[in-house]
């Protein structure tokens, strides 16, 4: 707990002192050091400050200062929310021992450029399986992991990749906010050894922040292969941060890295110290004058470096200005800032932010000039040779579309074999339950609801895994960035730019992380348009429905049909983005700037990890939302029961069974027919039948009956549920091992016509491609756009567009 939370007479052991700069040094000098016992005595009449006893003397601290000191009292060990428990009584030796254990919890934040290997390091250190891609912006939110090493517990946070700590993009703002508010004990700054000058710019900003940092010099093997010579120990001395070479993909250097983290945390590192980047006389004068005024403010300097805040103010940083705006002396500070901003502009003949950027790169260049000697080998030779083909103006597009076609054809063909095995297992399990149990609601729930619903979706697991492996290969190899590069001109025609291509392609996997990954797009307008059209990218949740209908009605051209669906989604996204750009979201875009990383061969371990991650997520979905939805759909289909109708059918079946004039074959045929009619009548008069009949007039022009309409309603929660709903609704012939696609091929309406035809299937496939994003996607749109208005807009426009497209296809096809 915080020192400020102690009650009168309560004592605790100090386990951590946070804060920065002079404040931290002053607190430690006064005796507030790790392992010392401190007792809360009394508060001032106005409840602030508070008097504490430490080292046999009394000292007062304000609440804001006491909040930056963590203590251990022993009460932390009591079970939460259990009133009536006796206070925990511990001997002082035991309390000290427990406090020492608590002090060995180190909060570490991973900060680095996109494509620096930060998430790979996070995965191998913590054992957590987060998606790693060889292009900018893979980590779309902070990921947390925990592991133990040498008696210490490390709480790791993998922050989004960012090139700087300015506030041009959400990632930059998020990272800076976490460093300020999350107050990590140590920051691991992951620096790519293959691009030192660019990566060290972020390091220079961390130096300004007075952050406690250990540098992971990642991909060090690439630097060695190039023949370069790098005296990283000398650079560490210059910047005041220990540097440890690492190769995250193999785990090399990771133990040494965390050894250094422990050294810095325990204040035993001979290298770790705070240095200042000298920005030149004119800028330093401005920093000095603004800093002097900031120091006069009581609350500044406790958890924020006054020098860093001075730099932010001179750069015109909006977040820094908001931090100062509420201070009593804000007007005086801003006036002094404006005077020195003008001096710097006049002296450098450019804006202040550019002056700071030039000075930082000057500092980095000077440091590397003394410590780094480039190798003679071209480390990017292979990358350049591959790029001659994949970015070629003639070959680039055919290769891209060929890869996409192979991906969808492979998903359909390779997934067919394991899909059949799973279908057979589901059928065997269903038959086993059928023979084991008596007729009744519970048996119907298990067979028709749970096994029929979930089983009809889980069979598509192999296809999902194969699709994600293809996408993972594109990400990990670096090809995804090239795809964005060659598509930039095309994306411009859409009113977007190349960076939008990455979230759109990610949408083939899942729209939710794809929408979150739009944070890599700096332009607010472009980001919003990308969000609005992303749900038109056909996510893997739709794949089970596609495979069911394509396999049933277009079996000879399955890969081509799938490819056509995905291309249709892309074309619709192009059209809608043009419309949105012209009429809905107007304004100038920021320039298109994106890193093209070197090609890297994805490791088998990483590919397996991706496959397992997506498999486990899909299986969790099976046991979660799809199972629940299947049970709900079964309930709506099974109830209300009409006892009079059931009795009528049961009596007729009994009469046939006792009728000696009928042959065994005729008897069996009539009983099967009566059972089917009984179930059909039950479904038609059930809750789901009523819902289906209610919306049937709206979907009839599209070629759909009430059963299809009811399935589409259930698909609003998650698209896979459409398959499970169809499985439940169409289980009406008593033959549980008959595949769902066979039932769809033979299902007939009351007038004797087939319910499903290739034309109806095509209309339905189009509707499912376009209509109503799943609930999780709607929530993601709201979060990323910042408004329910845009989320509801996507729901309305996609459903309306789906209806129009399906209407046109069915009506024109019917002619």
Mean pLDDT of 13-18: 84
CB 359 within 8 A of CB 276: no
What would the two tokens of residue 297 be?
A: 């403010």
CB 155 within 8 A of CB 108: yes
What would the two tokens of residue 516 be?
A: 């979150």
- Indicate the range of 525-529, 578-582, 583-587 predicted with least confidence: 583-587
- pLDDT tens figures, 270-327: 999 989 999 999 999 999 999 999 888 866 766 678 899 999 999 998 888 988 888 8
CB 547 within 8 A of CB 412: yes
pLDDT of 134 > 60? The answer is no
pLDDT of 87 > 70? The answer is no
What would the two tokens of residue 381 be?
A: 């030779």
Determine which helix (DSSP H) or strand (DSSP E) holds 646, and give its type and residue range: helix 643-658
Q: What DSSP state is assigned to residue 7? A: P
Residue 217 is predicted with a pLDDT of 95
pLDDT band at 732 (very low <50, low <70, confident <90, very high): very low
Rounded CA gap, 320 and 330, in Å?
12
Mean pLDDT of 488-505: 75
Mean pLDDT of 32-58: 87
From 683, 676, 704, select the one nearest 765 (Cα to Cα): 704
- pLDDT tens figures, 718-727: 787 888 778 7
- pLDDT tens figures, 61-81: 888 788 888 888 877 665 554
- What is the four-CA torsion angle of 533, 537, 539, 542, rounded to 10 degrees? 100
Residue 190 is predicted with a pLDDT of 96
Residue 782 is predicted with a pLDDT of 87
From 569, 603, 518, select the one nearest 769 (Cα to Cα): 569
> Which residues partner with 188 through β-bridges?
110, 214
Residue predicted with more confidence, 329 or 736: 329
Residue 790 is predicted with a pLDDT of 94
- pLDDT tens figures, 690-711: 998 999 999 999 999 988 998 8
pLDDT of 495 > 80? The answer is no
pLDDT band at 780 (very low <50, low <70, confident <90, very high): confident
Residue predicted with more confidence, 267 or 27: 267
- pLDDT tens figures, 374-418: 877 666 778 888 888 888 888 988 998 888 788 877 877 888 888
Residue 760 is predicted with a pLDDT of 95
CB atoms inside a 10 Å sphere around CB 445: 18
- pLDDT tens figures, 634-678: 888 788 888 888 888 888 888 888 888 888 888 888 888 888 778
- pLDDT tens figures, 163-183: 888 866 677 888 888 888 777
What DSSP letter does each residue of 409-470 carry, written as one string? HHHHHHTHHHHHHHHHHHHHHHHHHHHHS-SSHHHHIIIIIIIHHHHHHHTTHHHHHHHHHH
pLDDT of 17 > 60? The answer is yes
What would the two tokens of residue 278 be?
A: 């000298």
In the chain, % of residues over pLDDT 70: 90
Residue 407 is predicted with a pLDDT of 80
Residue 734 is predicted with a pLDDT of 35
Mean pLDDT of 494-514: 76
pTM assigned to the model? 0.69
pLDDT of 523 > 50? The answer is yes
In order of 95, 496, 624, 685, 707, the CA distances from 747 in angstroms are 73, 45, 30, 18, 11
pLDDT band at 536 (very low <50, low <70, confident <90, very high): very high
Q: What DSSP state is assigned to residue 303? A: S
Question: Would residue 317 be called left, alpha or beta, if left means φ above 0 and alpha means ψ between -120 and 50 degrees?
Answer: beta
Determine which helix (DSSP H) or strand (DSSP E) holds 192, and give its type and residue range: strand 186-192
Query: Mean pLDDT, the chain, as a whole number?
Result: 83
- pLDDT tens figures, 222-243: 888 888 899 999 999 999 999 9
**Beta-carbon contacts of residue 153 (< 8 Å; ≥ 6 apart):** 104, 105, 106, 146, 147
Residue 621 is predicted with a pLDDT of 64
Rounded CA gap, 525 and 540, in Å?
27
- Of 1-15, 75-89, 122-136, 588-602, highest mean pLDDT: 1-15
Residue with tokens 């289980």: 731
How far apart, in Å, do the first and last CA atoms of the chain sit? 74
Furthest-apart CA pair in the chain: how many Å? 112
Question: Would residue 304 be called left, alpha or beta, if left means φ above 0 and alpha means ψ between -120 and 50 degrees?
Answer: beta
Residue 406 is predicted with a pLDDT of 85
Mean pLDDT of 343-371: 92
């Amino acid at each position: 707990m915080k020192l400020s939370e102690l009650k009168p007479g309560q004592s605790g052991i100090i386990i951590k002192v946070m804060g920065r700069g002079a404040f931290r040094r002053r607190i430690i000098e006064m005796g507030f050091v790790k392992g010392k016992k401190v007792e809360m005595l009394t508060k001032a009449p106005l409840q602030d400050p508070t008097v504490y006893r430490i080292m046999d003397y009394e000292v007062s601290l304000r609440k804001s200062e006491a909040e930056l000191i963590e203590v251990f009292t022993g009460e932390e060990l009591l079970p939460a929310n259990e009133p009536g428990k006796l206070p925990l009584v511990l001997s002082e030796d035991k309390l000290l021992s427990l406090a020492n254990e608590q002090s060995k919890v180190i909060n570490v934040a991973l900060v680095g450029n996109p494509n620096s290997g930060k998430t790979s390091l996070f995965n191998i250190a913590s054992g957590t399986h987060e998606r790693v891609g060889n292009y900018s912006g893979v980590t779309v939110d902070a990921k947390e992991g925990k592991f133990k090493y040498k008696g210490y517990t490390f709480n790791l946070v993998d922050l989004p990749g960012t090139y700087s700590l300015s506030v041009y993009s959400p990632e930059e703002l998020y990272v800076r906010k976490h460093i300020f508010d999350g107050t990590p004990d140590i920051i691991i700054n992951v620096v790519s050894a293959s691009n030192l000058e660019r990566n060290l710019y972020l390091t220079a900003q961390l130096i300004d922040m007075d952050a406690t940092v250990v540098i992971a010099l990642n991909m060090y093997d690439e630097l060695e292969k190039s023949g370069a010579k790098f005296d990283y120990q000398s650079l560490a001395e210059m910047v005041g941060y220990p540097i440890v070479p690492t190769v995250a993909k193999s785990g090399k250097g990771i133990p040494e890295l965390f050894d250094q983290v422990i050294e810095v945390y325990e204040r035993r590192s001979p290298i770790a110290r705070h240095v200042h980047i000298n920005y030149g006389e004119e800028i330093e004068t401005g920093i000095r004058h603004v800093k002097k005024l900031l120091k006069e403010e009581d609350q500044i300097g406790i958890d924020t470096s006054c020098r860093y805040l001075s730099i932010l103010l001179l750069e015109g940083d909006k977040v820094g200005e908001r931090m100062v705006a509420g201070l009593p002396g804000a007007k005086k500070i801003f006036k002094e800032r404006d005077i020195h901003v003008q001096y710097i502009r006049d002296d450098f003949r450019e804006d202040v932010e550019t002056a700071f950027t030039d000075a930082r790169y000057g500092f980095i260049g000077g440091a590397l000039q003394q410590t780094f000697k480039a190798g003679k080998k071209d480390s990017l030779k292979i990358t350049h040779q591959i790029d001659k083909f994949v970015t070629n103006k003639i070959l680039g597009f055919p290769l891209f579309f060929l890869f996409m076609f192979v991906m969808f054809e492979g998903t359909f063909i390779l997934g067919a074999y394991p899909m059949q095995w799973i279908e057979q297992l589901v059928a065997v399990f269903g038959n086993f339950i059928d023979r084991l149990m008596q007729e009744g609601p519970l048996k119907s729930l298990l067979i028709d609801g749970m096994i029929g619903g979930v089983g009809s979706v889980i069979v598509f697991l192999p296809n999902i895994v194969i699709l994600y492996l293809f996408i993972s290969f594109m990400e990990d190899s670096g090809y995804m960035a090239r795809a964005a590069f060659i598509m930039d001109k095309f994306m411009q025609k859409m009113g977007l730019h190349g960076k939008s291509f990455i979230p759109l392609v990610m949408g083939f996997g899942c729209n939710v992380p794809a929408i979150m990954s739009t944070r890599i797009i700096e332009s607010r307008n472009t980001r919003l348009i990308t969000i609005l059209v992303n749900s038109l990218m056909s996510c893997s949740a739709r794949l089970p429905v596609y495979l069911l209908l394509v396999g049933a009605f277009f079996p000879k051209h399955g890969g081509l049909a799938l490819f056509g669906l995905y291309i249709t989604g892309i074309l619709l996204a192009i059209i809608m983005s043009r419309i949105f750009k012209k009429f809905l979201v107007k304004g100038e875009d920021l320039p298109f700037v994106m890193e093209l990383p070197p090609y890297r061969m994805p490791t088998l371990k990483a590919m397996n990890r991706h496959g397992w991650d997506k498999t486990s997520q899909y299986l969790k979905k099976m046991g979660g939302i799809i199972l629940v939805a299947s049970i709900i759909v079964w309930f709506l289909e099974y109830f209300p029961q009409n006892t009079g109708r059931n009795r009528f059918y049961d009596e007729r079946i009994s009469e046939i069974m006792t009728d000696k004039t009928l042959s065994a074959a005729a008897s069996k045929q009539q009983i099967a027919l009566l059972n089917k009619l009984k179930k059909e009548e039950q479904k038609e008069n059930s809750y789901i039948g009523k819902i289906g009949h209610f919306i049937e007039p709206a979907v009839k022009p599209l070629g759909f009956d009430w059963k299809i309409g009811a399935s589409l309603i259930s698909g609003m929660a998650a698209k896979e549920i459409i398959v499970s709903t169809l499985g439940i609704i169409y289980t009406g012939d008593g033959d549980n091992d008959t595949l769902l696609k066979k039932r769809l091929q033979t299902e007939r309406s009351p007038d004797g016509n087939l319910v499903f035809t290739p034309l109806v299937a095509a209309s339905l496939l189009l509707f499912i491609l376009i209509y109503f994003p799943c609930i999780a996607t709607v929530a993601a749109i709201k979060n990323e756009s910042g408004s329910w208005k845009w989320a509801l807009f996507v729901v309305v426009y996609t459903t309306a567009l789906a209806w129009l497209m399906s209407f046109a296809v069915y009506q024109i096809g019917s002619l």
